[in-house]
Chains A and B, each alone.
Chain A
Amino acid sequence: MALALVATTIVILALLWEVSWPAAAEHLERRRAGRARVPSLDIDPGRERRAEQRARQLLRSCVNEEEWEMYRDLGFIRVWGALAEGLDRDRGGTVATELGAPYAYLLYPHKPIVAYLPQTRELLNEYCVDFPDETRPYGSARLPDSDDVLAKWMALTGDERRLIETANMHLPGRQVDPKRVRRDLWRLQEWERQRMRRRARAQGDPAGRDTGPAGSVSAP
């Protein structure tokens, strides 16, 4: 009788152990994790914002006043094409650009460069270009927005041919919505009109006559 009781007790204890051990182990694990020292991550949430602020200052110090105000107010910069022989068809130009029609680029942060004809607002191409950090081949943070625009501006004004040949050329609309570009060209025209009015007033012309968006249809 006693032997049977002892055996039954042992079986019951073994079953209870089997049932309760996983829950107990999990509880212990949680307690350990709760008490464990969590390593502090070196994350500075303001770093990117400060980097962008510095980038804006640098951009402002490099481009001219009109380009800076354009970027500040509209979010992009227009750069006039300057290839002496014109933009040929191999590089995305048209018959018009080969014959010397002025062409220009819109520089957006972290978007392709958009080439267009200011006189007709015809979109020519998108030139996709990146500025990757080659010292970190497995991927890295990208340039701040304003640095990306400045890098495009420097590469384009410094060596337009090399940048255009480096970039991957695509038809308009692949990444930048053509409707958006046309709207931006309209915004640019209005912005230039207002800017010219302000300048005319500042120079003593009280009427600030509407002289039209000359800047958008004529090369500098």
Chain B
Amino acid sequence: MRSHSIRQRLSAATPRARVPATTLLAVAAAVALHAPFACAEPAPEARAAPAVAAASDVATDVRVERVRPKREKHPTLRFLKENRDFIRARFDLLREKPDDHSGSAAAIDPRFLSYQHMLREILSARDSLAVAEDLRQRRDLFQSVTALGELEKELDLMENLLAAQRGRLGVMQADFTGRQQTALAIVVSGYPGDGALATLTITLDDGAPISIALSDEQRESLRRGGMLELFHGLVEPREQVLSIAIGGEGWPADDAGFVTLDPARDRLTFLRMDLTPAHAAQGAASMRASTWLQDTALDGSMVRASDGTPIRP
């Protein structure tokens, strides 16, 4: 089991692909918008109120279970598994094909060497023909104004082709640089009524456990209504079970709460674990969880400061 502080966790390489740094801003914005207790210092009541309304509209409560939910088993790739030795043997044959011939070099037939020379002559002749043809075409083109008009048409065609190519490149760029991949951000808030909080451990489906040791400052932040990000990374767009364990004095060992999530494809899903209702005697399953999606309709250019000036023009 790996152990990281939260700051270390954000920069450490994990088996899963990392989320680009720019999306961290989106996480911060979305958490601030949907979770009113995100700030280390509680915001004034008047300013938090609209956000509370927004959060209650979009966040969905998620059940935290005591036992890992059973999932139906589906067999897959059975032909491959049944015939693996045969298929592997076929690949081995492709990689290595020994024969009875020795590896020593034989004398090269002089005729073969002359073929190379002939090939060079052919290429040279072709180049000469191309140059001659080019000159002839140029003479023809400039012989009349009509020919110049045709040349202009050809240039227009080339420009159109270039414009179309630029358009295609634009589509590809949008696909590869601006596309949101399926991602998950897990945040924790609140502080348990009893029991000391020392570590939080998250285990993603098929992933290694990620253990986070909480510092005194982080514990104090949670007590004051702060929120901590435990995980932010790419996840598979499928139904999966996450486990979250609480470590510390009074908490039962080998205990975890299980949450079933189905992250939406190409969206950022948030999972908030609220520790406020959790009790050491009842284990990690006594915490509360809710989930919501990042609001992609938000237009950053519309964000304005209190004096009405755009924050990001």
A binds B: no
